[in-house]
Amino acid sequence: MIERPPVLNADLFRRAIDLQQRPDVAQLVKDAVQNYLYWSDLKYKKRPTDVTAEDVWACVKMNRTTVGTLQWEPFNIKMTVTIPMQKMCHDFDMNFGGSWGKSSIIPHAERERFLISSLIAEAISSSQMEGAATTRRVAKDMLRKGISPRNRSEQMIYNNYQAIRFITAHRDEDLSPELLLQLHRIMTQHTLSDERDVGRFRTADDDVVVENAITHEVVHTPPPAEMLPDFVERLCKMANSDDEEGFVHPILKAIYIHFVVAYVHPFVDGNGRTARALFYWNMLKNGYWLTEYLSISQIIYRSKASYETAFLQVEADNMDMGYFAMYHLQVLEKAFNELRNYIEKKILDKQRSMDFFVIDGINERQAAILSLVRDNPKVVLTVKEIENRFAVSHTTARNDLEGLVERGLLNRQAVNKVKSVYVKGHAFDGIAVEKL
C-alpha cells in the first residue's frame, strides 16, 4: 500500500492563501503542480523552515483546483491539465499524427517490417505484465514462425497479438458492448481458469479484487457489478463522442479510458490487457497512426511498479487521475524516443545488409536474410518467419530462401515430410567473403 495524503482542514487552506504569495513557497508549489508530485514525493522536498509539508500540500491542492480541471462521472474522476501535459500532447500531435512522421521517421519500404516488430513487442510486454512467463526470443519465434502456443504464457502472447491486429482492423468502428466483449474474447481465450469467463462481463456472483502479487493484500476493490451496464454505456458514449460538452484532448481521453477500464474491472480477468488495448484502439481511432509502431507496454513493463503506483495514487488522492496521466504521457514520450532509436539502428543494419548486393542477382530481402546469417551463424529460418518478418507472401518468402539454397548460401533441412528449415549453407563463408 502507499502512504495516503494528510487530511487538510480549513485552517491549513486559510494559511495556504497567504503562503502562496511568498516567492519561496510559490516556486515550490509551481514545481509540484507542474510535475504532478504525489504527497510522499512532495513532503521530502526542501522548503522554508517555517513552512510544513502539510502547508505546501494545502497550497498544491488549492492550486490544482484553480487550474483547468477535467472531471468525469460517475466515479468523480478528475485531473488538472498542466502546462507540461499540454506541451507533451502538442508534441504528440506533431509526431504521432498527420503526415510528418509518414514522410520522415519511418522509411516507406520498411513500414511493414517495423509494424510487425512493434506489434510483436507490444503483445509480449502486455502479456508479461499479466504473468506470461517466457523469453522474448521464444515468443518472437512463436509469432514469426507461426508456431502454435504450447502453454498458457504463449497463449496469452498469441492472443494479445491477435487482439492488436483485431484493433487495427476495427480502428474506424465505434466502440460498442459487442466490440468490447469480442476484444476480451480474443484477448483471453484458453487463458482463464474458467472458459465461461471469456468474453463476458462480471456479475455480482464474481468475487473480483486486485491483490498485491507478493503479499496478496487487497489493494483495490472494483465498483459493484450492478454499475457495469451504466458504465459500459457511458464508456462507449465517451469513446465515440466529439466532446459536445467540452473539448478533451484525444490523448487524455485515451488515457482516461485506459485508467477507468482498469479501475472498474468489468471482466473477471484480463482487465489490464483489455484496458491497454483500448488505449491503443482509441489512439488509432483518433488519427495517431504512429501508435501502431510504438511498443507502449514494453515501457510500462519495465516500470511496472510505477504503473501500479500511479493507479493507487489516483484512488488515494480522491480520484485525481493526474498522477496516472502524467505517468502515461511520459511512457508515450519514452516509447517515441525508443522507436526513433530503433529505426536508426535498423537503418544501419540495412546499410550493412547492402554489402551482399554485390552478389549478382541478390534482391534486397535476400541480402537482409544473408545479413541475419552473418550476425547469427546458427540462426534457423522458416518460410513462415520470412513471410512475417518481411510482410511478403508465402510464395515470395519460399522463393527467396530457395534462391539462396541454389547458390549454396543456405541449406534446406527437412524437419518432417512437409516442413523444412533453412540454415547457413556450406558455401556461405567462401562466397560471401570472396564477393565482399
* Three-state SS sequence of 360-426: CCCCHHHHHHHHHHHHCCCCCECHHHHHHHHCCCHHHHHHHHHHHHHCCCEEEEECCCCCEEEEECC
C-alpha cell read off for 59: 497550497
Q: Alpha helix (H) ranges present in 78-169?
A: 83-96, 100-104, 111-129, 136-145, 152-169
Q: Which portions of the chain are predicted below pLDDT 70?
A: 67-68, 98-114, 213-214, 243-246, 346-347, 349-355, 357-358, 431-436
Instruction: Give the integer Cα–Cα distance in Å for 75 and 71.
Output: 9
Q: What is the structure's pLDDT at 94?
A: 85
Neighbours of 147 (CB within 10 A): 15
Per-residue pLDDT of 329-360, as tens digits, reads 999 999 888 888 877 776 676 666 666 756 77
Top-tier CATH class for 359-435? mainly alpha
Q: What is the structure's pLDDT at 132?
A: 81
CATH assignment, 86-343: 1.10.3290.10
Task: Work out the angle at residue 168's Cα, subtended by the Cα atoms of residues 163 and 172, and round it to the nearest 5 degrees.
Answer: 125
Host H or E run for residue 218: strand 218-220
User: What CA–CA distances, in Å, run from 54 to 32, 47, 60, 61?
Assistant: 13, 11, 10, 10
Helix%, strand%, coil% for the chain, nearest 5: 65, 5, 30
Q: CA torsion angle for 211, 216, 217, 220 (degrees, to 10)?
A: 0
Residues paired with 80 in a beta bridge: 69
User: What CA–CA distances, in Å, run from 352 to 216, 338, 356, 357?
Assistant: 50, 21, 8, 10
Q: What is the structure's pLDDT at 67?
A: 67
Pairing mode, if any, of strands 218-220 and 210-211?
antiparallel
Instruction: Give the integer Cα–Cα distance in Å for 129 and 273.
Output: 8
CB 367 within 8 A of CB 354: yes
Q: What is the structure's pLDDT at 173?
A: 93
Spell out the domain ranges in the chain: 10-66, 86-343, 359-435
Q: How far apart are the first and last CA of the chain?
A: 60
Neighbours of 306 (CB within 10 A): 14
Residues 6+ apart with CB under 8 A from 169: none
User: What CA–CA distances, in Å, run from 361 to 15, 358, 364?
Assistant: 80, 9, 10
Residue 80: name the closest of 314, 241, 331, 316 by CA: 314
Neighbours of 96 (CB within 10 A): 23
C-alpha cell read off for 14: 486559510
C-alpha cell read off for 265: 474491472
Q: What is the structure's pLDDT at 355?
A: 66
User: What CA–CA distances, in Å, run from 385 to 369, 370, 405?
Assistant: 11, 14, 16
Q: What is the structure's pLDDT at 106?
A: 61
Beta strands in 21-74 (DSSP E): 69-72
Q: Alpha helix (H) ranges present in 146-286?
A: 152-169, 177-188, 228-240, 250-264, 271-285
Instruction: Give the integer Cα–Cα distance in Å for 240 and 237.
Output: 5
